[in-house]
Every structure is written in structure tokens, then in C-alpha cells.
Amino acid sequence: MTESTVSDGIHYHQFDVVIVGAGGAGMRAAIEAAPHASTAVITKLYPTRSHTGAAQGGMAAALANVEDDNAEWHTYDTVKGGDYLVDQDAAEILTREAIDAVLDLENMGLPFNRTPDGKIDQRRFGGHTRDHGKAPVRRACYAADRTGHMILQTLYQNCVKHGVNFFNEFYALDLVMTEVDGVKRVAGVVAYELATGEIHVFQGKSVIFATGGFGKIFKTTSNAHTLTGDGVGIIWRKGLPLEDMEFYQFHPTGLAGLGILLTEGARGEGAILRNASGERFMERYAPTIKDLAPRDIVARSMVQEVLDGRGAGPHKDYVYLDCTHLGAEVLETKLPDITEFARTYLGVDPVVERVPVYPTAHYAMGGIPTNNDAEVLSDNDTVVPGLYAAGECACVSVHGSNRLGTNSLLDINVFGKRAGNNAVTYAKGADFVPLPDDAADGVVGWLKQLRASTGTESVAQIRKELQETMDRNAQVFRTEDTLNAAAAEVRDLRTRYLGVAVRDKGKRFNTDLLEAVELGFLLDLAEVLVVCALNRKESRGGHMRDDFPKRDDVNYMQHTMAYLSGDAHSSESDDHIRLDWKPVRKTIYEPTERKY
């Protein structure tokens, strides 16, 4: 049963399972939960506008429809691709359950591309190999270059079929936790309704966070304007830890100067990266699988070409993606979206011209720590009863320090499904945790203070300066000097944020207010990323320290755990962030040199 009441202007709702986020992970969880428990999905966007829809290239699964493959090879690639920081038992679950995850989507109606004999077609993707790295393998199941879009539409249709209760354009702003018998348990979520400006409290036995990433801490990013890390920021402000925040993936092929993504599927179909002289430079960096090396290696190689003076264009600041040899038929049928992107945004026709590309901030490997059942952890192994997380906001960790392409769409389906099932199991055996009388007071006071602000600082200007310093100092290559510069600038911006101005004082569709809220989360997460990056004095996966260029397995074969140890709004120093370590879980794979 669900309940909805109004008291003192606050709307109260009661559901067995409350899911925050309506992207792939959130809706996959909802499909599992809704048939067995009353389920609410709170989403800041209409569900089919969620960022899962921007994923283009495919979803990995060792179906072996096109050539020989198996889950063990997929596990090896995931562990090696993540530079051995992957929790190997989690990777085994990911790859073992991948086949069912694809078949689930097919049975829901997803229109995958097909082989001539009617099977789901598969193509190559970076870092995916056969026989433990000997050659590329066709493992990515795909729907042209619109795979994420198709997944999102399919999941939404099935959520509607199962009667999921969607609360669209509701911004989750706080997690309510109540101490019961000395243990903090989840009680619900506080959200802001964009259309009315009213506050809603969703009481739930189980709460699942599936809120996506936080790529808008960077200027050059493939992420939408809405990816501001709200869910991760809420968890951080509740005093729960974040894991491996220093590891951020930069996708190699963003449109130069814009960051708009061109799928790795283009290289899977045979596209080639070339420098200004036309050289296929990846042959020097990854002689075995060349352009299909893992993303961290390709991104660094591209930047190195530019740094060494072999970049193209008037400012020698990008390289080319050459698709011209693929032919119009392949580009128009298998890669129609990226073909149109290049034509629309750069005025370049990939059929006859090389496309200018450069790495773009794409994916957070770190986030909310969970175990293999998607339960959120309050330290290395203690579960927060009733709290779950899945998708990019979570850190299981199946991606380690570098996610393989097509493993993200797989992750949201495998662990979204697990989160939904486990949240229902918990809810069936649990009572509602009583809501404190002041459950919404913190959010009400916070928003009232922002609306009443008389400061002079601009949200847009602070966000712009944050993104510029992160691009300049914490992107593909990092050093102690650049990271210290970023840390100092972020601290300064956090101080200035206290004087931010919200000019729209109204309640209905007040996006000015919400952008100020989102900026606060971005500043928090950027600071955590930089502090963690300073602490890891090695290079591994998406974290490249120019001053410590080697991987250090003796000292750093561990996950970083960041804890808020003081005032989240302190801006004087970073001493409100406490760092610790968490062992990597190994099964059979010992770290070796990453040769491709």
C-alpha cells in the first residue's frame, strides 16, 4: 500500500521501495521491484531523457554469436582493463550474468542489430579480447550507435507495464536516516518538486540511489548539463564514504573543442586514429590491438601526440578519427548518429573527411561504495540497512581504475537488477523506520536561505571557473603542482559559493535555485577527487600522475576511501576530508604489465 498526506505544507508519501534516478540502473531496479512491492521512482528528468540514452556503442556479453568467446575471457579483460584495481569477484558476477542481462532486454523488446541468421550481432570494442589478450573479439551487442537510447526506451516501456510510480522533475536533496537500536537505518528521501517548489518526503523501507555521474565538474565532457552528482553528493554529506574518486575516465573520441561523444563503436567497425601527418599512431602505443586498446591508454596516447607536436589543426591541439575507408553504407546504417553529429557540430562529413577528436571527461569509476549485492557500505564492509546503489553513482568495483567500453550498459543492467531484487527482499522483512519530526527541516531551511540570498557571486561564473581549473589541472595528465593548484582554486570557489546570488525568488520551475544547489554538489565532489588524486602517488588507469608515471602495486594496490570528517561546507582547507584504504578483492588474477 502507498500513502500520501500533506502536513504543514510538506507532502508525505510511503512506498516499500524508493528509487532515486530513472536512468538505466534505476529503471532496471524498478522492473524487478514493482511486481513485488510498492515502488516509487524519483527523477529530476523525464525518464527517457536520462543520460543512459547518450550511450552509443553497445553492451558487452560473451554470447559468442559471431566468434568464439566466453565469460572467463571477459572477466580477464575487465580486470586487466581496470589496471587490476577491479574487485575480481564482482567482475566475475558482471561477466557471468551478462548473457542473461542481454537476453532479458531482448525479451523486453529491445531491437538489437542482427546477424544474417537472426542472432544478436556483436562488434569489437576497446580492451575486449579473446584468449587472454591475443586478439580483439566481437563481444559488444548493439543497436546501431543508439544502444543506450534503445535500452532506456525499452526499460521505460516495461516500467509502465509494471505500474511503476514515477515522480518526474522531482529533485532528491536529502537522505533521511534514523538510528534504531544503535544502528543508523534508512527512513526515506526528501525531494523538491520543480513545478510547484513544494517539498516531498518519501518514506521507504528500502532506498536505491541510481543517480548517475558528475562529469560537469569538467568543462570538456560528454556528460549532459544535468550530471551534477547529486546522489553522490547527498551520500557524502550524510557522512558516508566515497570510493576511488580520483579515477575519472576520459573518452578518447570527443568532438574536438566540444566534447560531444563519438562512440568507440566507430573504431570497433574499423575507424583509425591518425595524427597530423596521417600516421596511425596507436601502432606505437598498443601494437597488438592498436586503436582498440582500453580507453585510458588511447586517451593518453592522443594527448601525448599533441604534446609532442604531432597534433592537427591550426593550433595543433587534436588528432583525427578516420572513418573514410568504412564507406557510406557502414556509416549510415551502423553509425548514423555519430555521422550526423560530425556533420552538424563540426561541419565535417565522416564519409569523405577525417573528424577532429580529443579526449573528453566521460565516466566516474568511483562513487558510493557497495558490496556485490548493491548494498551501500558505511566503511570497508559494514552495510547501511535498507540502502542500495547501482550504476555510475556506485562503486562495486567492477571498473577498477579504468572502465572498458560497453561494460557500463552491462553494469547498470546487472547491478540495477540486483539492487531491485535485494531491495524488495529487504523491504518484505522490514518495517518502516519512523521519520523524525524534522525530516524535511534541513532542506526547507537550505532552500529558504538560498532564495533569500543577497550575495553577489554568480552560479554560472563559479561553475565556469571550477570546470576550467579541473580541465587545466586534473584532466588526463596530473602532477602534484597541478593538483595543488586545483585544490587551492576549488577551496576559493567554495568560499565564494557562500555568497552566491539566486535572483529568481519564486517557487515554480525555479531552475536558478536548483543550479545553485547542483553547483554545491559539484564543488564538493571536485574537491574530493582532487584530494584523492593528490594522495595516490602512482599512475593507474584513468589516474595519470606525470610525476609518478609508474604503477605502484606495493603501496597502492588498494581502493581509496574518503570520509567527511568535519563540516562539509568548510572552505579553509581540506582537513574535513579523511582518507583511508580498502583492500582489492582478488580471486585468480595477479597484476602483470599491461601490454596490448
| Residues with a known catalytic role | 295
CA distance 67 to 253: 27
Backbone phi, psi, residue 565, to 5°: -110, 10
Classify residue 329 by burial, with Cβ atoms within 10 Å: 0-12, 13-18, 19+: exposed
Q: Which residues contact 539 (CB under 8 A, 6 or more apart)?
A: 545, 548, 549, 550, 551
> How far is residue 210 from each of residues 22, 272, 374, measured CA to CA in Å?
7, 35, 11
CA distance 3 to 1: 7
CA distance 213 to 547: 28
- Mapping DSSP to helix (H, G, I), strand (E, B) and coil, where does residue 95 land? helix
The C-alpha cell that represents 567 in the structure block:
563540516
CA distance 454 to 325: 59
| CA angle 368–372–376, rounded 5-degree value | 35
Number of Cβ within 10 Å of residue 460's Cβ equals 10
Contact 473, 219 (CB under 8 A): no
The helices-and-strands tally (H runs, E runs) of the chain is 17, 23
For 347: left if phi > 0, alpha if psi spans -120 to 50, otherwise beta; the answer is left
The three-state (H, E, C) secondary structure of 227-255, written as one string: CCCHHHHHHHHCCCCEECCCCEEEEEEEE
Contact 509, 490 (CB under 8 A): no
Q: Which of 231, 108, 112 has its CA nearest to residue 160?
A: 108
DSSP strand pairing (3-7 vs 383-389): unpaired
Q: Which residues contact 390 (CB under 8 A, 6 or more apart)?
A: 25, 26, 28, 29, 208, 209, 210, 370, 374, 411, 412, 415, 416, 418, 419
DSSP strand pairing (135-141 vs 59-60): antiparallel
